[in-house]
Amino acid sequence: MSISIGVDVGGTKIAASTVDEHGAIRHRARRETPAQDAAAISAAIVEVVEELRERHRPEEVQAVGVACAGFIDAEGAVVRFSPNLAWRDEPLAERIVEQTGLFVVLENDANAAAWGEFRFGAARDVADMVMVTLGTGVGGGVVSNHAVLRGTHGMAAEIGHMRVVPGGHRCGCGNRGCWEKYASGSALVREAREMVGGGSPHVAELAARCGGDPSALTGGMVTEVAQEGDPAARELLEDLGRWVGEGVASLVAILDPQMIVIGGGVSAAGDLVLEPARAAFARQLTGRGHRRVADIVVAQLGNDAGMIGAADLGGARRLEASG
């Protein structure tokens, strides 16, 4: 049986697992991320790789895929930049190879998650898909004709930074009006806190849930109150869904995928977000009425998608490299 190791490096934790050729997780390991020390991050990755490797026969594990939150070069070897980790032109693959002797490939975390859903999750029966991850920001990955779309420099599919509102809210990337400022969990929280802070009786349930302190309100609270039937919370999720759908319509106009997979924490709201997203998408889609409408579905692999996708990519590229 072929086994690869998938490692998902986030701002606070490093999650890793051994994954078989069917996308099933066999064993798990985890470390805290020493985010401000590039050498310490590499060492922690090597630790989890070696811990997992010991649970299998020596010949079983020969490839590692590392999903990184940042810009990865086209060769899958160097982290050019990571906004939340101490990586600047970091030759991470080389460092891991030196200490483990395994074949190593790096991939952007959103690309890895998209590949996981494409191979083993919600999009496993399609050839072309886009994954949209709705969390603190908006991430994305594109699979076109059975291959991850990386672009010339490995930096494609930064979909959260499409400009949807010229002169709009300032984004962490430095620009204004990016899609993630309107279609993310952070956007949901911003709008909910503004409503609670205004003192309207319309948001009494939300105010009660956070003890009257807008700064204590979270996206999870908004979703919970909405699922209980609160009109204000449902309105907030409906507005968010509309922004999601309008952005997806732009993506589909450019990429023409068969399926859009929605993941991330906001997807926990289910149809409270997806139904208005589908409606807005159908209204805004170029050529509507004369083309097949792409399916918008919820991701199936949850937080494991990045690990599973990275592991599968690592194993596949090792086979390609070996001829």
Residue 1, pLDDT > 80, answer no
Residue 70, pLDDT > 90, answer no
**pLDDT tens-place string over residues 217-262:** 999 999 999 999 999 999 999 999 999 999 999 999 999 999 999 9
Amino acid at 314: G
CB of 184 within 8 A of CB of 136? yes
Amino acid at 41: I
Q: Which pLDDT does position 289 carry in this prediction?
A: 86
Q: Which pLDDT does position 2 carry in this prediction?
A: 84
CB of 130 within 8 A of CB of 260? yes
Q: Would you call 140 helix, strand, or coil by DSSP? A: strand
- Tokens 């097949």, residue? 292
Residue 274, pLDDT > 90, answer yes
Burial 14-28 (b: 16+ CB within 10 A, else e): bbbbbbbeebeeebe
Q: 126-299 belongs to which CATH class?
A: alpha beta
Q: Would you call 173 helix, strand, or coil by DSSP? A: coil
Tokens of 152: 């010339």
Q: Do the two domains 3-117+303-321 and 126-299 of this chain adopt the same fold?
A: yes
- Is the Cα torsion angle 30, 32, 35, 37 positive or negative in sign? negative
Strands 295-298 and 259-263: parallel
For the chain, the structural domain boundaries read: 3-117+303-321, 126-299
The H or E element spanning position 190 is helix 185-197
Q: Which pLDDT does position 304 carry in this prediction?
A: 96
Q: Would you call 264 helix, strand, or coil by DSSP? A: coil
Per-residue pLDDT, averaged over 303-317, amounts to 95
Q: Which pLDDT does position 82 carry in this prediction?
A: 86
**pLDDT tens-place string over residues 89-145:** 999 999 999 999 999 999 999 999 999 999 999 999 999 999 999 988 898 999 999
Residue 319, pLDDT > 90, answer no
Q: Which residue has the higher pLDDT, 209 or 11?
A: 209
Burial 194-219 (b: 16+ CB within 10 A, else e): ebbeeeeeebebbbebbeeebeebbb
Spatial separation of the C-alpha atoms in residues 15 and 305, rounded to whole Å: 11
Fold of 3-117+303-321: Nucleotidyltransferase; domain 5 (3.30.420)
* Closest among 226, 113, 118, 198 to 159, alpha carbons compared: 113
Q: What percent of the chain is predicted at pLDDT more than 70?
A: 99
CB of 310 within 8 A of CB of 7? yes
Q: Which pLDDT does position 50 carry in this prediction?
A: 96
Q: Which pLDDT does position 320 carry in this prediction?
A: 87
Residue 302, pLDDT > 80, answer yes
**pTM for the whole structure:** 0.91
Residue 22, pLDDT > 90, answer yes
Tokens of 306: 């990045």
